Structure 1
Amino acid sequence: MAAIVQNVVTSGFFQLDGGSWEVDNNVWLLGDDHEVLVIDAAHDAQAILTAVDGRAVRAIVCTHAHNDHVNAAPELARLTNAPILLHPDDLELWDLTHPQRSPDAPLSDGQVLTIAGTELTVLHTPGHAPGAVCLYAARLDAVFTGDTLFHGGPGATGRSYSDYPTILESIRDRLFALPDGTVVHTGHGERTSIAAERENSAEWAAP
């Protein structure tokens, strides 16, 4: 049986470049009755732990290191004994939030994570952040995009460590290469699909 996708929405603040913005984050749990991966431990470790419901957390996977996606990661790791995984290109961003605690292991492009018999392929998709990754589960027709791709367009690139041409290249080359029916589980807001965002891209990704 394939893994099941669960969603927990947590609330807090995104902080960067001296600004602070209130946000709701999607925390994704992928697994079965016995084990899960947590994708983006945001804001509230206890709320995430409640959703885990006693299952073994095999890893806490960070799609990128903006504070609103990682601020609960060390506490959740402490509570579950799970390793924190992050692409090394985002270590500088990570250190802005957790200077005293490093991630436990790196993520790399093409790496495969397995949970509950389901493989997740790591896709390095820089632009919103240097070490941003997406996680593609072919068996589930699903991709977890963090803040790289949303319903209606790409993630923000107006602050430090981000770059608009780079995020467009990541979306075109990595995400739009996925099948049209792939469900896009985003870091904030509602789900979408690769087909829908490819169609939408005419409005924001013109050459």
Structure 2
Amino acid sequence: MTPSGPVDHVVTSGTFSLDGGTWDVDNNVWIVGNADEVVVIDAAHDELAIERAVGGRRVVAVVCTHAHDDHVNRAPALADRVSAPILLNPAERQLWEMTHPNRAPDRELADGEVLTVGGIDLRVITTPGHSPGSTCLYAPELGTVFTGDTLFQGGPGATGRSFSSFEEIIDSIREKLLALPGDTLVRTGHGDSTKIGDEAPHLEEWIARGH
């Protein structure tokens, strides 16, 4: 794969397991930066495919939006191959340890901090709900937010499993994500992208449906 711009993308396939169930999933892995350096967002399922998509650029960090196993299962393997630190919100530690009990993340992600890579600023927005420390990354100059499993085309991420809260995810989306400009492109952890302005009108419908 030839790097094509400030945001590159690879889809990897595998499984997600929690609460005794296992499901087949396709994950979006996002690679953000320039021709020299990048961050990888959510190292899922296939570190070799991700490394090929990086294309020889320096990986500044492997950033985890949350610690469900389908988003972090290849994070240590990729981090070791490219000599990069793993970044994760500390509230995700219990979930992380379910997958990687003998390997800790290298650094904590804090709400409001800014990661800079290839001249691009990524602002960390903590959005609990799907999981306790779910995190989004907002790149104002790109008009893009990477939402992990917090917001999808058509609604919020799932909250029917352990360590999740429907009330919290709705508050996170309402207060933090829907406050972004309406034309902000939402690049999700699974499935197609959307825009903040396309999702905002449906907030009350989501609340009425509950979870």
**Structure 2 residue 138 is the aligned partner of structure 1 residue 145:** no
The separation in 1 between residues aligned to 2:84 and 2:18, in whole angstroms, is 27
Secondary structure class of the residue paired with 1:123 = strand
* Equivalent position amino acid for 2:56 in 1: G
The separation in 2 between residues aligned to 1:43 and 1:130, in whole angstroms, is 22
Secondary structure class of the residue paired with 1:122 = strand
For structure 1, the residue ranges without an aligned partner over 5 or more in a row are none
CA deviation profile, 1:120-165 (whole Å, cap 9, x unmatched): 0000000000010000000100000000000000000000000000
The separation in 2 between residues aligned to 1:185 and 1:130, in whole angstroms, is 20
The separation in 2 between residues aligned to 1:107 and 1:165, in whole angstroms, is 23
* Equivalent position amino acid for 1:179 in 2: P
Secondary structure class of the residue paired with 2:167 = helix
* Equivalent position amino acid for 2:78 in 1: L
Secondary structure class of the residue paired with 2:9 = strand
* Equivalent position amino acid for 1:54 in 2: G
**Structure 2 residue 119 is the aligned partner of structure 1 residue 117:** yes
TM-score by length of 2: 0.95
- Which residue is 1:101 aligned to? 103
The separation in 2 between residues aligned to 1:159 and 1:91, in whole angstroms, is 17
- Which residue is 1:130 aligned to? 132
Q: Quote the offset at 1:22 in angstroms.
A: 0.2
Tell me how many residue pairs correspond in the alignment.
Answer: 205
Q: Quote the offset at 1:66 in angstroms.
A: 0.2
- Which residue is 1:194 aligned to? 196
Secondary structure class of the residue paired with 1:144 = strand
Q: Quote the offset at 1:203 in angstroms.
A: 1.9
For structure 2, the residue ranges without an aligned partner over 5 or more in a row are none
TM-score by length of 1: 0.97
The separation in 1 between residues aligned to 2:52 and 2:143, in whole angstroms, is 27
RMSD of equivalent CA atoms: 1.0
Secondary structure class of the residue paired with 1:65 = coil
Q: Quote the offset at 1:174 in angstroms.
A: 0.3
**Structure 2 residue 37 is the aligned partner of structure 1 residue 38:** no
